[in-house]
Structure 1
Amino acid sequence: MPPKKTKKTAGAAKKGKKVTGTVVNTDTKVQKGVSVKDGAVKKAVSELIKWKESQKPEKPQLFDDDEASLYMQLTSVKFFSKKQVLKPTAVAVPHPVHDLENEFKVCVFVKDGQIDAETLEKIEQENIPHLAKIISASELKGAYKSYEARRKLQKEYDLFLSDESLITALPKLLGKIFYSTSKLPLPIRLKIKENVFSVTTLANQVSKTIHSVHYVPPMGVNLTINLGSVRQPLDNIVDNVQALTQHFEKQPLKTIQLKLLESPGLPIYIAEHIFSEQDIGEEEKPAKDETPEVRLTKFEKGLVELALDEDQARSIVGRKEKKVKKLKRGKENQNGGDSKRRK
């Protein structure tokens, strides 16, 4: 029998972009679909901008670096990942979260010997949009070994990519200057069949990464995703939020919030129901050492019913409890004697 659509869900489709659309199994108190209204997103972004403008600026600019970033916070009933994950997940979004109108520069790290002079010339002729620099592992060990050189490199480029075969060695080659900021190198695949480097693949990977957002699934219920500048067109932010919400349609989300780096979070979605009947554990069973339930015989039950007052009834049941406890102690003593004989 197909799941029934509730009136509330049907109404939500008229007001905003519906992501998954239905609330199923409402009798089990869990909401499977997530629907975020466009108006809620626009209102939250507007209020966050007002909040930021109300703060006392410490610098001439209204926003600076990460302070201008808008974040999407998701809280789930279940962990986003059951095991530790190091490789980021890419989610394609309708609008780039990066400011591509100004000079946006991408730097790519490659393994030693992966690109020769002839291949490098082909890359330059291809004129890949936004690709500004290619650096080998040996260069990172030499020219960019000092802290000052790494700091300058980190400031000079907006996005860092790396061949996936080199990604695990980068923390040691780049140091904390990269991994304490939002410019973590993202892994890309630069080789096609037969382990051959492809210029076309490089161009496609750069374009795909620019038009995606990335996150590392945590072993927890809280996840934060950078949506780019809060000064983007509102419609772009709405479209990207809807795309991300659809990406997490199978995740049992409790809340979705938007926030700036230091601002409070503003909810744009709150689940009506959080837990299902399956999530509620069974009642705890009594411990083995607890006193067994007192069971009266038909004759004893009859005596209780015929008792003239409560004291008489308690007396009958009390005698039964004493018998049960006595039998229990005798059984324990017998078990103890058996264990000693075995030794």
Structure 2
Amino acid sequence: MAKTELIDSHISVKQCTRAVHALHAYASKKQKEQEETELLPSNEQYVWLQVTVKRMHPEHKIKPFKIPLKHALIDPRVMPVCLITKDPQREYKDLLESHKIKFISRVVGITKLKGKFKSYEARRMLLKENGMFLADERVIPLLPALLGKKWFDAKKQPIPVCLTRKDLKGELERAIESTYMHQNRGTCTSVKIGLLSHAPEKILDNIKISLPAVVNNIKGNWDNIQSLHIKTNSSISLPIWTCELGAATGGRWDGMVQSKDAPEESTSDEDSDSNDTDMDLEEEVPEVPVSKGKSKGTKKPLAEIVEKPITPKEVKQKRSAEGAEKKKAKIVKGGPAKSAKAALIGKKPGRP
């Protein structure tokens, strides 16, 4: 019997191929139906590798991990690439010309980013006009505050590159040909591994090349991975691998031991609750003497004489009744009521 071909000794190539073909067929059909009803062409959809881990990463890293691909996602001949550099900007433009680098469409310095692209509208146009952003690794910590959250929402975070290397052209080419994993503090991370315009075979090749690098950059490697899925921007996710749902080595609950004190506390709490209920049942309701009419010394259970909660309507009726009784008592005590005019001038009726 032939052995099952595996990717990184874990994922079945057969299962991965079935998932890629099913996802590509479904997403292509949906995109075709959408293009028939919309006037403007839709944006290019990516194929994502979704990694779910068992334990969250303790820290958030600004610099992403570089993941190699066999088939690049960005073509500089079609999609412009912008490079963000230190000041002065002209120095790095001359550096690109000296290395005969022509696939960088635009160079923007930090000072220009703070001045010309300070307004929201200017930054939005810069984001829209370029498909990928590279940045000098020395200015990466400054960019989140200068660019704003739109770059991160659009998944176009600037990719760090080293502009001091001798092989500058090779450094920039490798940066454009790779994909990137942005480590967060959650349990789910997504990595671009292909385009919907790619053939299913190209997407599968990218999975084979990128998967070992993705796993190596996760703390705990395969022992910390719970599941792997693939999806597009708007589709459901299809599973390609899941760990065993058990406490064995590599399983879902491996290394997660329940505290020994927890069951004892829960049982003790249950016992105390049951004892309280038993005591409540055994305790008799006391009786208090209530005098009603002429009969004295008659006793009623305490539960019967406890007042019920009064509604706002009853409170209003009670206050109006008390006010009427006080007014009536005042009239009887003080004699006939004064007229309105006499009340105003402070004189009794009948006096000149």
TM bracket (short chain): 0.5 to 0.7
Give the alignment partner of residue 92 of structure 1, picking from 68, 80, 101.
68
Q: Which amino acid aligns with 1:286?
A: E
By how many angstroms is 1:156 displaced?
1.7
Whole-Å separation in 2 of the counterparts to 1:115 and 1:53: 45
Q: Which amino acid aligns with 2:87?
A: D
- Aligned equivalent of 1:281: 258
Q: Say if 1:123 and 1:56 are closer, same or farther in 2 by CA, change over 3 A.
A: closer
- Aligned equivalent of 1:75: 52
Whole-Å separation in 2 of the counterparts to 1:92 and 1:205: 13
1:43 aligns with 2:16: no
Secondary structure at the aligned position of 2:127 is classed as: helix
- Aligned equivalent of 1:240: 206
Whole-Å separation in 2 of the counterparts to 1:184 and 1:257: 23
Q: Which amino acid aligns with 2:51?
A: L
By how many angstroms is 1:146 displaced?
2.2
Secondary structure at the aligned position of 1:258 is classed as: strand
By how many angstroms is 1:210 displaced?
1.1
1:145-224 mapped onto 2 (5 Å cutoff): 145-192=118-165, 200-201=167-168, 203-224=169-190
1:98-113 mapped onto 2 (5 Å cutoff): 98-100=74-76, 102-113=77-88
Give the greater-gyration-radius structure (CA).
2
Instruction: Tell me if the contact between 2:195 and 2:203 (Cα under 8 Å) persists in the aligned partners.
Output: no
Which 5+ residue runs of structure 1 have no aligned equivalent?
1-6, 22-32, 193-197, 292-343
Q: Say if 1:179 and 1:57 are closer, same or farther in 2 by CA, change over 3 A.
A: farther
By how many angstroms is 1:120 displaced?
3.2
By how many angstroms is 1:45 displaced?
2.1
Instruction: Tell me if the contact between 1:45 and 1:258 (Cα under 8 Å) persists in the aligned partners.
Output: no
Structure 1 moving runs of 4+ over 6 Å: none
Q: Aligned residue pairs: how many?
A: 255
Instruction: Tell me if the contact between 1:48 and 1:259 (Cα under 8 Å) persists in the aligned partners.
Output: no
Question: Alpha-carbon deviations, 1:190-245, whole Å to 9, x = none?
Answer: 124xxxxx5x32x2221111111112112222111123421112221111112232
Instruction: Tell me if the contact between 1:51 and 1:263 (Cα under 8 Å) persists in the aligned partners.
Output: no
Q: Which amino acid aligns with 2:236?
A: P
> Scaled by the length of structure 1, what TM-score is found?
0.65
By how many angstroms is 1:114 displaced?
6.7
RMSD of aligned Cα (Å)? 2.9
Question: Alpha-carbon deviations, 1:137-194, whole Å to 9, x = none?
Answer: 11112222222222222122211111111112122322344333122111112124xx
1:256 aligns with 2:228: yes
- Aligned equivalent of 1:11: 3
Whole-Å separation in 1 of the counterparts to 2:102 and 2:85: 18
Whole-Å separation in 1 of the counterparts to 2:102 and 2:239: 37
Which 5+ residue runs of structure 2 have no aligned equivalent?
246-250, 270-352
- Aligned equivalent of 1:305: none
Q: Say if 1:239 and 1:61 are closer, same or farther in 2 by CA, change over 3 A.
A: farther
Whole-Å separation in 2 of the counterparts to 1:224 and 1:288: 39
Greater alpha carbon shift after TM alignment, 171-180 vs 147-156: 171-180
